[in-house]
Chain A
C-alpha cells in the first residue's frame, strides 16, 4: 500500500524566512501529487498539483513544489513566508492505477510569527 511521509509535524518561522516542507511517498509507479492547505477555521484547499511534465510546479500564493522521482519526493517551497501562510499543509498522492484513492500525509502545521 502506498504511504506518504511528512517529516515535520510543526514548523515555526519568522516572516520573510524561506520555507521547505518535506514530503516523501512510497509508490514506485506513476503518481499524481498534491499539496493541500488548511487555514485556521477553513476547509482544505488545493495549493498545487503535479501530474506530468515540468517537475517544478507553481501554485497559488507564491508556493511551488518540485517532484524528484529518484527520491520519491514532492517538497513544498516558498521563498518568503508571510503571517497569513500560517496553516496546516497536507501532501497527498494518487497512484496512477487508482481511480479514487488519495493517500494523505499527517500534515505539517506551519506557524509564521510576525
Chain B
C-alpha cells in the first residue's frame, strides 16, 4: 500500500490569497492525480501526471495549476482563491502497469471565505 501525504488537512483562507496544497508519495509511483470532491458527489479528476515534467488537465475544469518536478511531489496551486474553490481536494498515486489502481491521501479540506 502506498504512503501518500497531503498537507494541510484543513485550510481556511480569505478570498484572493495564493495557496499551495502539498502532496507527496513515498512509493516511487509514476502517476499522480488530483481530484475535487464535494459532499454527496463523485470525485472529479482535475489534474494528472504520468511522470516528471508531465502534467495534464482532467475532466473538470479547474483554475488551479500543478507541477511535477520530482517523482514524489505533486503540489497544486491556486493563484487567487475564491469561495467557489471551497471543496475537498484529494491526491492519489499509482504505478504504471497496475490497471490504474490508485492510492489516496487523506485530503485537504479547503474553505475560502
Q: Taking the complex as formed, is A76 at the interface, i.e. its CB lies under 8 A from any CB of chain B?
A: no
- Shortest C-beta distance, B90 to chain A (Å), equals 7
Q: Which bucket holds chain B's interface residue count?
A: 20 to 34
Q: Taking the complex as formed, is A98 at the interface, i.e. its CB lies under 8 A from any CB of chain B?
A: yes
Q: Contact at B90–A44, with CB atoms within 8 Å?
A: yes
Give Cα distance in the complex from A103 to B105, angstroms.
18
Q: Contact at B104–A107, with CB atoms within 8 Å?
A: no
- Shortest C-beta distance, B48 to chain A (Å), equals 5
Q: Contact at B42–A104, with CB atoms within 8 Å?
A: yes
Given contacts A43-B90, A44-B92, A46-B103, 13 further A-B contacts (CB under 8 A): A32-B100, A42-B106, A43-B4, A45-B104, A46-B101, A90-B43, A99-B50, A99-B100, A100-B100, A101-B100, A102-B43, A102-B45, A106-B41
Q: Which residue numbers of B lie inside 8 Å of A, CB to CB? A: 4, 31, 33, 40-43, 45, 48, 50, 59, 90, 92, 99-107
